[in-house]
Chains A and B, each alone.
Chain A
Amino acid sequence: MLAMQQIPGAELTLAQGVQLPGIDYGALAPLLVIFGAGCAGVVVEAVAPRPARWPAQVLLTVLGLAAAAVTLGMHLSSGVGDVVTLAGAVVVDGPALFLWGTLLALALGAVLLIADRTVEPGGAFVADAAVRIGTAQDRAQNLSARQAPGAATPATSAMGATGSQTEIFPLFLFSLGGMMAFVAANDLLTMFVALEVLSLPLYLMCGLARRRRLLSQEAAVKYFLLGAFASAFFLYGIALLYGYAGSVTLAQIAQASGGTDRSDTLLFGGLAMLVIGLMFKASVGPFHTWTPDVYQGAPTPVTAFMASCTKVAAFGGMLRVLNVGFESTSWEWRGVLWGIAIASMVIGAVLGLTQTDVKRMIAYSSIAHAGFILVGAIALTEQGLSGTLFYLLAYGFTTLAAFGVVTLVRDSQGEATHLSQWAGLARRSPLTAWVFAFLLFAMAGIPATSGFTAKFAVFSAALADGMAPLVVIALVASAVAAFFYLRVVVLMFFSEPAADGPTVSVPGGFTTAAITLGVVVTVLLGVLPSFALDWAALGGFAS
């Protein structure tokens, strides 16, 4: 509020007497660049000739990410401090900036996976998702894609198949923009709009797999239906909170909850529904049920994007809601979130043991990790905040690289995701196996990887905040979860390869870059995490 009024001439008066809110373009630039690049992507899709679309879109997306990062850096170096803008709807403070940086970096990795066209000839996405599966047209578009690896030729486009469609890039950018808006939203309505902007493109992207299209479409429908359900919860929660506080601004809800005789039912009912919506997006158990199916069915590059970026966005939003809006009532709701965190860790760790599909396994691992992150998030201290932010950064890169490796292990049917197919992988492709083992060890939290540093950060924050039993439960859950990571290592290294097992594709430059990025960050944050911990601790929430 204050920052807004300090900007001279920021408020314009229109002829009708409506006051336009002041807009701090400098602070919002990263967000605007991403949305702008998304719109430009739509235009490219409309005007560029087919063969030119893929290179144009990749270039546009990468440039957009880079430009957003540059503007983010400029804003940081200008030293403006916390900015509340757009009439208090958006706040650009320390956590928001850190999360934006994290999202942009993770998005770069994800877009590299999405852009790869050498691992799967023509890319991982179907040319025309509307074609019914099993029809002659469908067979034709699969065939032409396989015959024409790389950029499509005019001959194949005559069949209506260019190898792959490129709408995925603008969708990706819109979703990313939604995530960035989500973590910076200062009132619940803005948050809801951002939630929809980030979700709707994701629903679509889930259904675009070139291989196993029925599974992919099923995943999209499931995600959409359950996501809509969760959005409804979120919206209903907002309504109740509005009824309670007379405002949707987080700061005013916090103000209203301090020593009034208003109805607690509205407050906690509203909070509960809000949190359910957030937990759903963050795939925290027991609101996780969509996660395994969607992670498994979605095209793997999209899964990588969801597993890393969506989690960052959802927890970023949750941190802001809890810290800004409900800190003063924390002793009322903390017990419930304890329960949810425990449930999530146990569900993720135990059900992960029974999985036979590597993508589902990572999905359950992400549910367990969501529980660990929640442990840090409910420690409403500076340490808890910085630890949780660091965890999001570390986990995002590890899981991104892990899905990157999953795209490489293939047989004639596409990706070989059944665990039995991974037996003896170390014999065929030692490098891939070692990289994946390293990532699994990072997820298990072995020291000298980012996974350990992150766990240490959140658990020490939780312990310092007096949650020792929760920490012990979390550590035991980590030990249980380690078993299923180990199982994959056992398969890859100690088992004999099957005679007709999958081969490991030689990754193209894009996938190599994405995996390298993830692995390097995982090592770096494990061995020398200081700089990132400093960034994460840069500042608290403003409102």
Chain B
Amino acid sequence: MGAQVSSGGLLLLAMLLLPLAGALAVAPMRSAPSTAKATALAFALAELVFAALAWRAFEPGAGRLQLGLSVEWIPEFGARFALGVDGIALVMIALIGVLVPIVMGSSWEEKLPEGRTAAGFYSLLLTMQSMMVGVFAATDVFLFYLFFEVMLVPMYFLIGRFGGPRRQYAAVKFFLYSLLGGLVMLASVIGVFVVSSEELGQGTFDWATLVTIADDIPESVQIWLFLGFFLAFAIKAPLVPLHTWLPDAGAEAPVGAGVLLVGVLDKVGVYGFLRYCLPLFPDASRRLAPIVLVLAVVGVVYGALLAVGQSDMKRFVAYTSVAHFGFIALGIFAFSTQAHAGAVLYMVNHGISTGMLFIVLGMVIARGGSRAIADYGGVAKLAPVLAGMLLLAGLSLLSLPGTNTFVSEFLVLLGSYPRQPVFTIIATCGIILAALYVLWVYQRMMTGPLRGAAVLGDEEAPRQPALAGPGAATDPEATRRRAAAAFPDLSKREVGVLAPLVLLILLLGFYPQPVLEVINPSVEATMSEAGFTDPVGSTGGGQGGN
């Protein structure tokens, strides 16, 4: 087999290499932070243009994997350097393209720990971007595994070098959890190769070829291989009970890295379920689906309950994500076209909504200097636009109709109910909890009288929000002025960062059709590859969102 290169494939290759080139260009600019930032942003914007080009080049329904590129790489292992996207991968790559420039904008004025340079931060962000594109674009299992593991390294350094006070612990925990999952997956990756060499006479890692032999693999072998992949993806996603690294990593990561961590990197887990677990091991998926569904639904409820109880706002976001990943996993393992389409759309929407929530909370933290929810109160009085943005992100997170996530959540529930009514009903309770945790956080932080150590700037009386408020001892007007000076509303840069996200939330809420059109053919193909049929009585096609 020689090299097969299409022009679209070259586009993907360029998307892979461009951020790497950017990282190399930015890394030496240690003493020129503003040049470094501007260069990095230019590269990220160029990548966004490329993503748009890829979106245009992709023809929904024209072929399973498009924009293909396949070059001989390590013939001894049967590994090829093969890139290509289906609709599912394409929307994720587009999400990366959108989020990275926004993340860079939001980190523009971030105070880095002493001795760290903006050049280091931005070049790590660009490296991260390249690896994430690679994970979604790889169509060779070996290549996918390579990106899956290498992706850890830039994120490890982002958390460990630029994170919060407990960053060392969080970075190591993140790395070890993921590495353990990855290494167990390696056993399965090798196993897939060995099985394929038994079936085909010559081993291969080519995803499309492996899908064709999936039905011939005995179920007992499938189960072992499935478990290897599943563990890695369940850690990455993360599903309860393998989620404990995420609150630590999410809380200690700098805001920019946190958005990418929760918004994109974790999606690799659920993407892996859909791309690798289901088509490659259909029998095992069917057999083990009940277990996965239990974990997913437990995650929905457990994540939501813990989110209610969080006092640290970044940990709060991390736990809401655990709940949402449970929801996505429910959609994937419900095995219906609608639920799958909903899950994929959810992956995109969750990236946008949680990304926005993370960024807005990052702006609050940048002003108040504290991550504790209790240190804030009445912020809406000082910064109404900021409060509004938090409310919008929160409402999107709880799937208010008219926002983007509503469509996806509705599709997941609609698609899951005919097959898994019990699990679906339990998961629906998670939505009610979502309203509770979002609105309660908003209420505590934004409404009511000015209070909280971070808002009042009162070092002496932290942790006594109610008492430190407009008490008799201090002049309320003076307190207010001082707080207003420390708590300005959104700057122009911050508005520019949030505007595209607001736009996307509303746009995808009212008109998700363009995205669904890209997703649907791939989802249907996944269903037929895995040999699943839609339950009787469902409308199919995943068009029910609007």
A interface residues with partner B (beta carbon < 8 Å) = 386, 427, 441, 444-448, 452-453, 455-457, 459-460, 463-464, 468, 471-472, 475-476, 478-479, 482-483, 486-487, 489-490, 493-495, 529-530, 533-534, 537
Query: In the assembled complex, which residues on chain A have CB atoms less than 8 Å from the CB atom of B167?
Result: 494
Beta-carbon nearest neighbor of B176 in chain A? A483
In the bound complex, how far is the Cα of B115 from the Cα of A444, in angstroms?
Answer: 28
* B residues 174-194 touching A (CB-CB < 8 Å): 175-176, 179-180, 183-184, 186-187, 190-191, 193-194
Are the CB atoms of B157 and A493 closer together than 8 Å?
yes
B253 to A: closest C-beta gap in Å: 13
A448 with B160: CB separation less than 8 A? no
Complexed CA–CA distance, A463 and B175 (Å): 26
Q: Which residue of A lies closest to B152 (CB)?
A: A446
Q: Are A446 and B183 in contact (CB under 8 A)?
A: no
| A529 engages B168 (CB within 8 Å) | no
Give complex CA distance A495, B153 in Å: 17
Contact: B160 with A490, CB < 8 Å? yes
* A490, B168: Cβ atoms closer than 8 Å: yes
Closest 7 CB pairs of A and B: A447-B146, A533-B76, A475-B183, A479-B180, A494-B160, A460-B190, A447-B149
Do A468 and B191 touch (CB < 8 A)? yes
Find out whether the CB atom of B149 lies under 8 angstroms from the CB atom of A446.
yes
Cβ–Cβ contact A495 & B168, under 8 A: yes
Given contacts A472-B187, A493-B160, 8 further A-B contacts (CB under 8 A): A448-B150, A457-B76, A460-B77, A468-B187, A468-B191, A475-B183, A494-B160, A530-B74
Nearest CB in chain A: distance from B447 CB, A: 39
| Residues of B with C-beta under 8 A to A441 | 153
CB pair A479–B75 under 8 Å, yes or no, is no
Neighbouring B residues of A476 by C-beta, 8 Å: 180, 183-184
Contacts A456-B77, A471-B187, A530-B74: A490 and B171 contacting too (C-beta < 8 A)?
yes
- Residue pair A530, B76 in contact (C-beta under 8 Å): yes
Bound-state CA distance A478–B179 (Å) is 9
A447 partner, pick from B75, B76, B145, B175, beta carbons under 8 A: B145
Contact for A537 among B76, B146, B168, B180, CB less than 8 A: B76
B17 within 8 Å of A by Cβ?
no
B residues adjacent to A (C-beta < 8 A) = 73-77, 115, 145-147, 149-150, 152-153, 156-157, 160-161, 167-168, 171-172, 175-176, 179-180, 183-184, 186-187, 190-191, 193-194, 197, 224
Q: How far is the CB of A26 from chain B (nearest CB, A)?
A: 30
CB atoms of B186 and A456 under 8 A apart: yes
The distance in angstroms between the C-alpha atoms of A534 and B150, with both chains bound, is: 25
Contact A463 B194 (CB under 8 A): yes
B161 touches A446 (CB 8 A): no
The smallest C-beta distance from A111 to any residue of chain B, in angstroms, reads 31
Provide the residues of chain A in CB contact with B149, threshold 8 Å: 446-447, 452
Q: Please, how many angstroms separate the alpha-carbon atoms of A113 and B149 in the complex?
A: 32
Q: Provided the pairs A448-B146, A533-B74 are in contact, do residues A486 and B153 lie with their beta carbons within 8 angstroms?
A: no
State the Cβ distance, A7 to closest chain B Cβ, in Å: 34
**Binding site of A, secondary structure by majority: helix, strand, loop or mixed?**
helix
Cβ of A371 to closest chain B Cβ, rounded Å: 15
B203 CB to closest chain A CB (Å) equals: 9
A464 to B76, CA, bound (A): 14
Known: A446-B150, A463-B190, A468-B187. Is A493-B77 also a contact (CB below 8 A)? no
Supply 27 A–B pairs (Cβ within 8 Å), ascending by A: A445-B183, A446-B150, A448-B150, A456-B186, A456-B190, A457-B76, A459-B186, A463-B191, A464-B194, A464-B197, A468-B191, A471-B190, A472-B184, A475-B186, A476-B184, A478-B183, A482-B176, A486-B175, A489-B156, A489-B160, A490-B160, A494-B168, A529-B74, A530-B75, A533-B76, A533-B77, A537-B76
Q: How far is the CA of A530 from the CA of B150 in the complex (A)?
A: 20
Compute how far the CA of A493 lies from the CA of B156 in the bound complex, rounded to whole angstroms.
Answer: 11
- Given the complex of chains A and B, what is the CA–CA distance between A455 and B179 in angstroms? 14
Instruction: Report Cα–Cα, A271/B157, bound state, in Å.
Output: 48
- Residue on B with the closest CB to A444? B179
Task: Quote the shortest CB–CB distance from B93 to chain A (angstroms).
Answer: 20
> Of the candidates A472, A479, A494, which one forms a contact with B161 in the assembled complex, judged by CB atoms under 8 Å apart?
A494
The reply to whether B183 and A486 contact each other, CB–CB distance below 8 Å, is: no
Cβ contacts under 8 Å, B77 to chain A? 456-457, 460, 533
A446-B160 in contact (CB<8A): no
* Distance in Å: Cβ of B24 to nearest Cβ of chain A: 13
Taking the closest CB of chain A, its distance from the CB of B1, in whole angstroms, is: 14
Shortest C-beta distance, A237 to chain B (Å), equals 34
Report the bound CA distance from A278 to B176 in whole Å: 34
**In the docked arrangement, what's the CA distance between A534 and B184, Å?**
27
B153 CB → nearest A CB, Å: 6
In the complex, chain A residues whose CB is within 8 Å of the CB of B172 = 483, 486-487, 490
A533 to B197 CA separation, bound complex (whole angstroms): 19
Do residues A479 and B74 form an inter-chain contact, with CB atoms below 8 A?
A: no
Task: Please report the C-alpha to C-alpha distance between residue A105 and residue B175 in the assembled complex, in whole angstroms.
Answer: 34
- Is B187 within 8 A of A475, CB to CB? yes
For the complex, what is the distance from the CA of A71 to the CA of B248, rounded to whole Å? 58
A455: chain B residues within 8 A (beta carbon) = 186
Contacts of B160 in A (CB 8 A): 489-490, 493-494
Looking at the assembled complex, report how far the CB atom of B546 sits from the nearest CB atom of chain A, in whole angstroms. 42
On whether the beta carbons of A459 and B187 are closer than 8 Å, the reply is: yes
List A contacts of B179 (CB < 8 A). 444, 479, 482
Q: Which residues of B contact A471 (CB under 8 A)?
A: 187, 190
Least Cβ distance of A6 to chain B in Å? 33
Chain A residues within 8 Å of B187, by CB = 459, 463, 468, 471-472, 475
Bound Cα distance A533, B150 (Å): 22
Q: Which residues of A contact B175 (CB under 8 A)?
A: 482, 486
Q: Are the CB atoms of A459 and B171 closer together than 8 Å?
A: no
Shortest Cβ distance from residue A190 to the other chain B in the assembled complex, whole angstroms: 32
B157: chain A residues at CB < 8 Å are: 493
A386 to B77, CA, bound (A): 12
CB distance from A385 to the nearest CB of B (A): 13
Task: Report Cα–Cα, A427/B152, bound state, in Å.
Answer: 22
Query: Which of A460, A478, A530, A534 is B193 in contact with, Cβ under 8 Å?
Result: A460
Considering the chains assembled together, what is the distance between the CA atoms of A487 and B160 in angstroms? 12
**Chain B residue nearest in CB terms to A386:** B76
In angstroms, Cα B268 to Cα A264, docked, is: 55
Q: Which of B115, B183, B197 lies in contact with A479, CB distance below 8 A?
A: B183
Contacts of B197 in A (CB 8 A): 464
A-chain residues with CB within 8 Å of residue B73 when the two chains form the complex: 530
Query: Using Cβ atoms and an 8 Å threshold, which residues of chain B touch A463?
Result: 187, 190-191, 194
Bound-state Cα–Cα, A471 to B175, Å:
21
Q: Which residues of A contact B171 (CB under 8 A)?
A: 490, 494
Query: Do B150 and A447 touch (CB < 8 A)?
Result: yes
B224 cross-chain contacts in A, Cβ below 8 A: 468
Contacts of B146 in A (CB 8 A): 447-448, 452
**Alpha-carbon distance A529/B193, docked complex (angstroms):** 18
Q: Given known contacts A446-B150, A490-B171, is B176 in contact with A459 (CB within 8 Å)?
A: no
| CB-CB under 8 A for A479 and B186, given A448-B150, A468-B191, A530-B74 | no
Q: Which residues of B contact A490 (CB under 8 A)?
A: 160, 168, 171-172
Q: Which residues of A contact B180 (CB under 8 A)?
A: 476, 479
State the Cβ distance, A210 to closest chain B Cβ, in Å. Answer: 34
Residue of B nearest to A446 (CB): B149
Residues in chain B near residue A530, CB distance under 8 A: 73-76
Q: How far is B224's CA from A463's CA once the two chains are assembled, in angstroms? A: 13
Collect the chain B residues with CB atoms within 8 Å of residue A478's CB. Answer: 183
Chain A residue at smallest Cβ distance from B145: A447
The CA-CA distance from A534 to B77 in the complex, in Å, is 11
* B residues in contact with A453, CB < 8 Å: 74
Which chain B residues lie closer than 8 Å to A464 at the CB level? 194, 197
A486 touching B150, Cβ below 8 Å: no
